């Protein structure tokens, strides 16, 4: 069973500034590994399936591994959270550490029903650090789409687990260390399908041998150089050789994992099928992950503010700040405090109505306060207010689900309008960053389509949002009477 677990081997790195001329051997112990999994640490791995060959060096030491030319065509971010805060902790009683993935994507061969794409906004990976680093498994729920019916959503819950837990790293890691382990790679899943609940159970026997066969200097994209170890990993599945890979790991957790096209390849320049790597983020203490922040004109020239978070750490709450001129200073709105949710990995949604009526432009930002009083600010957003403008649910227009979905690399988004209006249609990632502006112009009544080309975007879940402002000429129409800026949001899935 080939799955996204390869990302689990990649752990977050802390910023380093070493420029080494000559590599030195290192030892990586359990204290180093525990630091990689400190609660609050965000773990971002980058995938490169574009590079066809790579020089992995040779056994022995010291060796120079220059991976500065690696490319990126996929990313995955996870965050370390307390085990007891997770949804499935009871199913992994041996776990001491956990990661949450809020944009989990997996391509799975279901057997008789063929291949499927699975998406989850809340999946958890479980580990144990107890002398060695053990990987226990992953569990989550979400929506799946079969290749044979790509537009039909299928709710699912699934648990992938290893019996016994996998020995990812036998600690301490040092040159010459070797370990072997056998495990059943198991899947237990349920899905709502064919008018009822269907069960899916699979298991494959793996045998894996790992050897720390070299040390040297590892150069990452961007030029950062670190002392590192090389681990050769050879895996058989049900008795057949299926994987030969190399893991280059530094003491601070920086990692490059190379999957060989030929599992028996040992040295030099080899053909590769996949590369996954990380470089330091240094952002373990970011208190919240803001998914979206918007300001919309509301009834009577008020403004409605709405924002969402993916996760929060020690979040006391938010104050709303506003200014009415671009050269003015932001100031707290009296009575604007909105309480946060402390520490949580569950997405949260907030809103606040600025009821003070005012014509013209206004700028807003969030002032987020930690439990210890530390203050952080969001990016500023701007809104216009004019008499009679009001946000409504879109009764006279409709934003359709994109098709196909999931897709690669292009999809079509349709929308229909019974009255003309000024339409803005944008695509965002789950952190609220704008990815593309698909429409920003006046549109007439009728049905419209626009194509979204995601060739430059990595796999994952994204949001597309459409806003419609009725034209002055429609003031007497069904859309213009008491209506105004309307918004609707849907999600789309890119699979590469």
Domain ranges of the chain: 4-277, 286-388, 392-496
Report the percentage of the chain scoring pLDDT > 90.
33
CATH superfamily of the domain spanning 286-388: Immunoglobulins (2.60.40.10)
Res. 490: pLDDT tops 70: yes
Tell me the backbone φ, ψ of residue 439, rounded to 5 degrees.
Answer: -140, 135
Strand ranges, E, within 269-394? 269-277, 288-297, 303-323, 331-332, 338-344, 348-354, 360-370, 375-377, 381-385
Closest of 35, 38, 33, 277 to residue 171, by C-alpha: 33
DSSP 403: B
Number of neighbouring beta carbons within 10 Å of residue 367: 17
The answer to whether the beta carbons of residues 415 and 447 sit under 8 Å apart is: yes
Please report which confidence band the pLDDT of residue 7 belongs to, taking 50, 70 and 90 as the band edges. very low
Res. 77: pLDDT tops 90: no
pLDDT at position 395: 40
- 199-226: average pLDDT: 90
> How far is residue 297's CA from residue 210's CA, in Å, rounded to a whole number?
60
pLDDT at position 477: 40
Structure tokens at 356: 């003070």
> How far is residue 303's CA from residue 479's CA, in Å, rounded to a whole number?
20
Predicted TM-score (pTM) of the model is 0.57
Answer yes or no: same fold for 286-388 and 392-496. Answer: yes
Partner residues linked to 290 by β-bridges: 309
CA 59 to mean position of chain CA atoms: 35
DSSP 32: H
Q: Which fold is adopted by the domain 392-496?
A: Immunoglobulin-like (2.60.40)
Highest mean pLDDT among 18-22, 301-305, 436-440, 459-463: 436-440
- 9-31: average pLDDT: 52
Lowest mean pLDDT among 184-198, 456-470, 478-492: 478-492
pLDDT in tens, 464-475: 888 888 775 443
Structure tokens at 471: 């034209």
R_g of the chain, CA atoms, integer Å: 25
- 118-127: average pLDDT: 91
- 116-127: average pLDDT: 90
């Amino acid at each position: 069973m080939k799955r996204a677990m390869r990302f689990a081997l990649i752990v977050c790195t802390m910023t380093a500034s070493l420029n080494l001329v000559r590599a030195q051997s290192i030892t990586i112990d359990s204290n180093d590994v525990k630091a990689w999994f400190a609660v609050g640490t965000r773990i971002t791995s980058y995938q490169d399936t574009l590079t066809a060959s790579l020089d992995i060096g040779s056994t022995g030491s010291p060796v120079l591994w220059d991976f500065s030319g690696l490319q990126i065509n996929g990313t995955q971010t996870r965050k370390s959270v307390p085990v007891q805060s997770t949804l499935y902790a009871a199913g992994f009683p041996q776990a001491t550490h956990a990661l949450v993935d809020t944009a989990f994507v997996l391509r799975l061969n279901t057997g008789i029903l063929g291949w499927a794409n699975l998406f989850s906004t809340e999946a958890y990976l479980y580990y144990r650090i107890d002398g060695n680093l053990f990987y226990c498994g992953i569990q989550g729920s979400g929506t799946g789409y079969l290749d044979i019916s790509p537009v039909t959503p299928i709710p699912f819950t699934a648990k992938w687990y290893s019996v016994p837990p996998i020995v990812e790293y036998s600690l301490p890691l040092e040159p010459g260390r070797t370990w072997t382990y056998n495990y059943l790679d198991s899947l237990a899943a349920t899905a709502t399908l064919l008018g009822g609940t269907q069960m899916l159970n699979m298991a494959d026997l793996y045998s894996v041998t790992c050897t720390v066969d070299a040390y040297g200097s590892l150069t990452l994209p961007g030029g950062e150089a670190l002392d590192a170890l090389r681990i050769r990993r050879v895996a058989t599945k049900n008795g057949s050789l299926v994987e030969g890979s190399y893991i280059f790991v530094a003491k601070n957790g920086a990692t490059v994992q190379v999957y060989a096209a030929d599992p028996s390849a040992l040295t030099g320049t080899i053909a590769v099928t996949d590369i996954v790597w990380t470089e330091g983020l240094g952002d373990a203490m970011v208190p919240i992950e803001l998914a979206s922040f918007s300001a919309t004109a509301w009834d009577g020239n008020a403004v409605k503010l709405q924002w969402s978070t993916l996760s929060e750490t020690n979040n006391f709450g938010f104050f709303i700040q506003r200014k009415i001129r671009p050269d003015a200073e932001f100031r707290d709105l009296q009575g604007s405090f909105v309480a946060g949710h402390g520490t949580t990995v569950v997405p949260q949604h907030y809103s606040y109505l600025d009821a003070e009526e005012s014509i013209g432009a206004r700028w807003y930002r969030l002032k987020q306060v930690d439990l210890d009083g530390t203050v952080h600010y969001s990016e500023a957003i701007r809104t216009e207010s004019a008499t009679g403008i009001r946000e409504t649910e879109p009764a006279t227009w409709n934003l359709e689900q994109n098709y196909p979905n999931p897709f690669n690399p292009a999809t079509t988004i349709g929308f229909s309008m019974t009255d003309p209006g000024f339409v803005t249609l944008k695509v965002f990632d789950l952190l609220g960053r704008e990815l593309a502006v698909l429409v920003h112009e006046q549109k007439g009544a009728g049905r419209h389509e626009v194509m979204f080309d995601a060739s430059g975007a990595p796999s994952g879940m994204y949001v597309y949002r459409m806003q419609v402002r009725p034209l002055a000429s429609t003031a007497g129409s069904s859309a213009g009477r008491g209506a105004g800026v309307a918004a609707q949001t849907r999600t789309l899935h890119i699979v590469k």
